[in-house]
């Protein structure tokens, strides 16, 4: 079973999120074991200090390398398999996270440890020494690394066979292989008419070949309008 761990000062965020949706399905199907580790258990003193003011001055507090290193060593010691461990940190300066990166990690057997940063950041020495990959979810700054890390974990696990109800589901999503990397076509359900808007007739025709062609054309149209860069790949 694959181990996915989060080092955080807010373990309740992880515990709450993993109780629903994809993460819960991954644990229920025994694809992954997901655990949160409280960084304050590895604090530098009895007051629970895990951060300090930055050298050179500046606003905010910086998470301490020694505390993070102690937590990481403990987590790695508790991972009960011989598979390699990849340590990941989310950062606005990291490599852009995308479906391709998620797919590579889904196909890997590595155990993952996500470092959830807070405050003004993480001591660079810890990043240089212990972190394998830094990723960003886009040109935006969050209050902490928990949500980005959870979203990354979810995007990985939903691509692992046995997690979703149908293994083909992820393939038919935006960026999936079934859509040749395009954005997903629009979806409709009952009622057939709502506020004067009708479901496209083709979807009611029962002609599966024509429906597939229509959906492909809609995917190409949406991609051309919103993400033309995907058409160049």
pLDDT tens profile 174-211? 787 878 889 999 999 999 999 999 999 999 999 999 99
pLDDT band at 168 (very low <50, low <70, confident <90, very high): low
pLDDT of residue 167: 64
ω before 185 within 30° of 0 (cis)?
A: no
Residue 7 has a pLDDT of 98
In percent, the amount of the chain with pLDDT more than 90 equals 86
| Mean local confidence (pLDDT), 105-125 | 96
Would you state the pLDDT for residue 179? 84
pLDDT score for 170: 75
Confirm if 99 and 155 have CB atoms less than 8 A apart. Answer: yes
Quick one: CA dihedral 134, 147, 49, 4, positive or negative? negative
Per-domain boundaries in the chain: 2-157, 173-232
Does the structure show a pLDDT above 70 at 233? no
Return the biggest CA–CA distance within the chain: 69
Cα atoms found within 13 Å of the Cα of residue 28, Cβ hemisphere only: 12
d(CA 31, CA 12): 22
**Residues with Cβ within 8 Å of residue 55, at least 6 apart in sequence:** none
Strands, E, within the chain: which ranges?
2-8, 32-38, 51-52, 62-63, 85-96, 111-115, 133-136, 193-194, 197-198
At 149 the pLDDT is 98
The two domains 2-157 and 173-232 share their CATH topology (first three levels equal)? no
Task: Decide: helix, strand or coil at residue 16.
Answer: helix
CATH superfamily of this structure's domain 2-157:
SPOUT methyltransferase, trefoil knot domain (3.40.1280.10)
Higher-confidence residue of 72 and 173: namely: 72
- The superfamily in CATH containing domain 173-232 is tRNA(m1g37)methyltransferase, domain 2 (1.10.1270.20)
Across the chain, mean pLDDT equals 94
**Mean pLDDT confidence for 9-21:** 98
What is the C-alpha to C-alpha distance for residues 8 and 130, in angstroms, rounded to an integer?
Answer: 16
Determine the average pLDDT of the residues in 109-134.
96
């Amino acid at each position: 079973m694959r181990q996915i761990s989060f080092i955080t000062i807010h373990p309740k965020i992880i515990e709450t999120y993993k109780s629903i949706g994809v993460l819960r399905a991954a644990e229920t199907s025994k694809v992954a074991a997901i655990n949160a580790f409280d960084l304050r258990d590895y604090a530098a003193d009895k007051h629970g200090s895990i951060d300090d003011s930055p050298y050179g001055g500046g606003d905010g507090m910086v998470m301490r390398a020694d505390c993070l290193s102690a937590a990481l060593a403990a987590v790695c010691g508790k991972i009960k398999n011989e598979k390699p461990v990849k340590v990941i940190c989310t950062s606005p300066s990291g490599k852009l996270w995308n479906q391709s990166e998620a797919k590579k990690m889904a196909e890997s057997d590595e155990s993952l440890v996500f470092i959830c940063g807070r405050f003004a950041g993480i001591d660079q020495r810890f990043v240089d020494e212990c972190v394998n990959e830094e990723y960003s979810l886009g040109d935006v700054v969050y209050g902490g690394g928990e949500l980005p890390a959870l979203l990354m974990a979810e995007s990985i696990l939903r691509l692992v066979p046995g997690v979703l109800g149908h293994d083909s589901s992820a393939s038919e999503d935006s960026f999936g292989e079934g859509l040749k990397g395009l954005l997903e076509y629009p979806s409709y359900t009952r009622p057939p008419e709502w506020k004067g808007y009708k479901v496209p007739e083709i979807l009611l025709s029962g002609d599966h070949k024509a429906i597939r062609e229509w959906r492909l054309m809609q995917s190409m149209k949406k991609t051309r309008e919103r993400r033309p860069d995907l058409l160049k790949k």
